[in-house]
Amino acid sequence: MGTRAICRDCYREVLWTVTDAGKRLAVDPEPDETGNTAAYRDGTGTFRSRRPTDELPIMAWEKLYVPHVATCTARQRRATQKRPAVLPPGVLDLTAYRRRAGGRS
């Protein structure tokens, strides 16, 4: 872990970290004082990340990073795209059926 990789959505470089819960979190590779994720490299070379709190503020060996999901341009573009008001001919709207069928989508 702690390797740099390329985001599949926007093709920018990201740094993979492991959270306290053992989940993977992609952060922008350069430290940023406006970030909300504290990260450090442990003894095995793995980047560990966590959210600083009032009870456990950022430590001297940690740096602040911004989670990549907050800056990913492709995800932001996708979030702003709306479904057309009128569907093209031959395209069925299945949302009503999905709601009736138990909420599966």
Per residue, the 3-state secondary structure of the chain, as one string, reads CCCEEECCCCCCEEEEEEECCCCEEEECCCCCCCCCEEEEECCCCCEEEECCCCCCCCCCCCEEECEHHHCCHHHHHHHHCCCCCCCCCCCCCCHHHHHHCCCCC
Q: What is the dihedral of CA 79, 82, 88, 92, to 10 degrees?
A: 70
Beta partners for 25?
17
pLDDT by residue for the chain (105 residues), tens only, comes to: 557 899 998 999 999 999 999 999 999 999 999 999 999 999 999 999 999 999 999 999 999 999 999 999 887 766 666 666 788 888 887 876 776 655 554
pLDDT at 41: 94
Q: What pTM value is reported for the model? A: 0.69
CA angle 79, 105, 21 (to 5 degrees): 65
CA 25, chain centre distance (Å): 7
